[in-house]
Amino acid sequence: MSSFKLKWHKLTHWEYWPLWAIYYPLFPVWLYYSIKARSFFFFNAANPAMKNGGMAMESKMEIYKMIPQQFIPKTVFVGKNESSKLALERILASDIGFPFIAKPDIGMKAFGVDKIYNKDEFKNYLKRTPSHFLVQELIPYTKEVGIFYVRIPGSEKGRVTGIVSKEFLSVIGNGTNTIEELIKKEYRSHLQLKALEKKFGETLKTVLKEGEEFILVPYGSHTRGAKFVDITDKLNDGLEKVVNSICSQMREFHYGRLDVLYNSFEELSLGKNFSVIEINGAGGEATHIYDPKHSLFFAWREIAKHWGYMNEVSILNHKKGHSYLSFKDGRAMLRDHEALESKLRMI
């Protein structure tokens, strides 16, 4: 399809808009909550055990340490300046084999997340990454869901406020077209073409068999082409109990999103065959808003509602003695976040 059609599709589908276009109109709402909390950076108190409340610049490894280990993948921290040979020896000794997932320890929007198949790819990743990173075992489950959780301080249990199913970006073969040609047939995949060309190279010239699926991005990132589907209506008592059993064991965790790989929704609701691959704190979005069926006005209502939850949690925690970020420290955090994002986009 033409460049004009791609640009028009992005313009007329708000899910592809830059974050500033979605969030800037809500500045008066944030200002209202800031006045209520008497701090522009009140989110720091939302999750006191997380750096910056989990809004930005927090270490994923430190968050993994908060999660009960039986619920997460095997994970190894790798320093930027570490020897690739020694790092790989530690990884293999921890019973993580190829292929595995590598991702920045301090990251965002799945920038820098990659699937590593061999030693050479690992050496290359270590060379090009700008910061410390994590290596995780590849979880065999093929479905991913994002579950938003809120627990008011003082309450024994929290509640789930949104669930999103993440459909990995993929193409289905027809026995005739190449992978590249299949990519260009759909807006969602065509918009990712440059990144996919960089990753797969000549592999995109392959012709898939009829009905053969080729997964282009093996994780549920909206910025990397995954389709988000709102399945909040599937919430049940079993799932909420499972989520509470995880989050209640995390110190001072009140607000955020759990990203979970699972085998079937029924098993997940029973607490079986799943793995928590990430938990985002105050910076986590209620990503069910990105379902293409939802309007921008629906998204704005959900964002404002969740900011209200975060504001209430933060104020209550602040009354218990947990601090807000100073304006100076908050601005420094935002500058560091922007600088890191620029680097991660280049990986």
Map out the domains of the chain with their CATH numbers.
Answer: 3-73+140-167+226-344 (no CATH), 74-138 (3.30.1490.20), 169-217 (no CATH)
Residue 325 · residue 52 · CB < 8 Å: yes
For residue 261 the two structure tokens come to 């790989």
Residue 178 DSSP code: B
Closest residue by Cα to residue 87 from 100, 97, 77: 77
Beta strands in the chain (DSSP E): 75-78, 100-104, 114-116, 133-137, 143-150, 159-167, 169-172, 213-217, 227-230, 255-262, 274-280
**In angstroms, rounded to a whole number, what is the distance separating the alpha carbons of residues 202 and 179?**
10
- For 89-147, give the DSSP string: HHHHHTT--SSEEEEESS--TTTT-EEE-SHHHHHHHHHH-SS-EEEEEPP---EEEEE
Per-residue model confidence (pLDDT) at position 118: 96
For residue 245 the two structure tokens come to 């059993």
Between the CA of residue 207 and those of 39, 172, 179, 202, what are the distances in Å?
57, 10, 6, 11
**In angstroms, rounded to a whole number, what is the distance separating the alpha carbons of residues 278 and 301?**
25
Instruction: Give the torsion sign (CA, 61, 62, 63, 65).
Output: positive
Per-residue model confidence (pLDDT) at position 220: 85
The vertex-199 CA angle with 276 and 127, nearest 5°, equals: 80
Closest residue by Cα to residue 98 from 69, 65, 121: 121
Residue 259 DSSP code: E
Phi, psi at 143, each rounded to 5°? -115, 145
Tallying the residues shown for the chain, one arrives at 347
* CB within 8 Å of 267: residues ≥ 6 apart: 273, 274
Per-residue model confidence (pLDDT) at position 221: 86
Per-residue model confidence (pLDDT) at position 264: 97
Per-residue model confidence (pLDDT) at position 76: 97
Q: Which residues of the chain have pLDDT under 70?
A: none
Start-to-end Cα distance in the chain: 27
**In angstroms, rounded to a whole number, what is the distance separating the alpha carbons of residues 245 and 149?**
12
Residue 129 · residue 78 · CB < 8 Å: no
**In angstroms, rounded to a whole number, what is the distance separating the alpha carbons of residues 305 and 29?**
10
154-171 pLDDT tens trace: 999 999 999 999 999 999
